[in-house]
Amino acid sequence: MTEDRLPLAELLAKASDGDFLRTIAESVMQLLMEADVEGVIGAGRHERTLERATYRNGYRDRSLDTRLGSLQLRIPKLRQGSYFPPFLEPRKLSEKALVAVIPAKCEHLAEEAWISGVSTRRVDDLVQAMGLSGIGKSTVSKLCKDIDERVGGFLDRPLVGDWPYLWLDATYLKQREGGRIVSVAAIIAVAVNTDGKREIVGLHIGPSEAETFWSTLLKSLVRRGLSGVKLVISDAHEGLKAAIRRVFSAS
């Protein structure tokens, strides 16, 4: 049974920013394949050990069509023997389950990274869904760190040029704080530049949709280079309208 898409993932899909989620999915699956093949080889890359059974011998390309788009994977090759990732073997996991379950779990990882950082539990869920075994804690930690860094870099990237149109959309998410579950507001900002390209330009998590909440998001966008805004499209929220007047009139 596949997991339902989380609210933030739905906003990402609505924003049509499939490239970012697709990159996350490719990175996650590639890193897990690298860890899995090390178990088959009996050694890490360039590691000298008596347990080594063979050596790497480059890669072969393989595309995987999912609801996130076509994932471009590089499957490790061996000098002796062969390696094929378990999650691509039809008898281990049906194609229908593969293209639905794994992208959904990658979306969960991206959402969790945005909110509070990726947890090892989420990664363990993904590893099990992919039919992998023997993935150590160090690999799980490395994967969590990789996703957190990718999401952080994506949200902090400079915004170059003019962005005439800005959309703001929001949803409420459940988050654990101090041992209890609380509701937090999540806003995604999507902008279109003068070339007609639409991108997610920001995300902000906060306790409510008060004016200070909206102002913090908009000020961070301006600080990163958002300029030339001529039209803001959103719900008619009083706090948001006040924040727009305050931030963009000053910039």
Q: What is the pLDDT of residues 85-130, one digit of tens each?
A: 877 765 454 445 555 556 666 666 666 666 556 667 777 777 776 7
Q: Are 2 and 104 in contact (CB under 8 A)?
A: yes
Extents of the domains making up the chain: 7-156, 165-250
pLDDT tens digits for 168-182?
Answer: 877 777 766 677 777
Tens of pLDDT, residues 48-72: 888 888 999 999 999 887 777 788 8
Residue 209 C-beta-side C-alpha neighbours within 13 Å: 18
Q: What percent of the chain has pLDDT over 90?
A: 18
| Residues 74 and 108 sit within 8 Å (Cβ to Cβ) | no
Higher pLDDT, 222 or 210: 222
Measured from the Cβ of residue 196, the count of other Cβ atoms closer than 10 Å reads 8
- pLDDT exceeds 70 at position 250: no
| pLDDT > 70 fraction of the chain, expressed in percent and rounded | 74
- Contact between 10 and 4 under an 8 Å Cβ cutoff? The reply is no
Is the Cβ–Cβ distance between 12 and 113 less than 8 Å? no
Question: pLDDT category, 43, cuts 50, 70, 90?
Answer: confident
pLDDT of residue 2: 33
Can you tell me the distance from the alpha carbon of 149 to that of 1, in angstroms, rounded to the nearest whole number? Answer: 30
The matching CATH number, chosen from 3.40.50, 3.30.70, 3.30.420, 3.10.100, for 165-250 is 3.30.420
The predicted-structure confidence for 132-151, as pLDDT tens digits, reads as follows: 666 677 777 777 788 778 87
Q: What CA–CA distance (Å, rounded) separates 191 from 200?
A: 6
User: CA 12 to CA 211: how far, in whole Å?
Assistant: 23
218 in Cβ contact with 243 (< 8 Å): yes
Q: In degrees rounded to 5, what are phi and psi of residue 132?
A: -95, 155
pLDDT at 229: 92
Q: What pLDDT is stored for residue 96 in this prediction?
A: 52
Q: What is the mean pLDDT of residues 17-27?
A: 74
Find the mean pLDDT for residues 6-31.
67
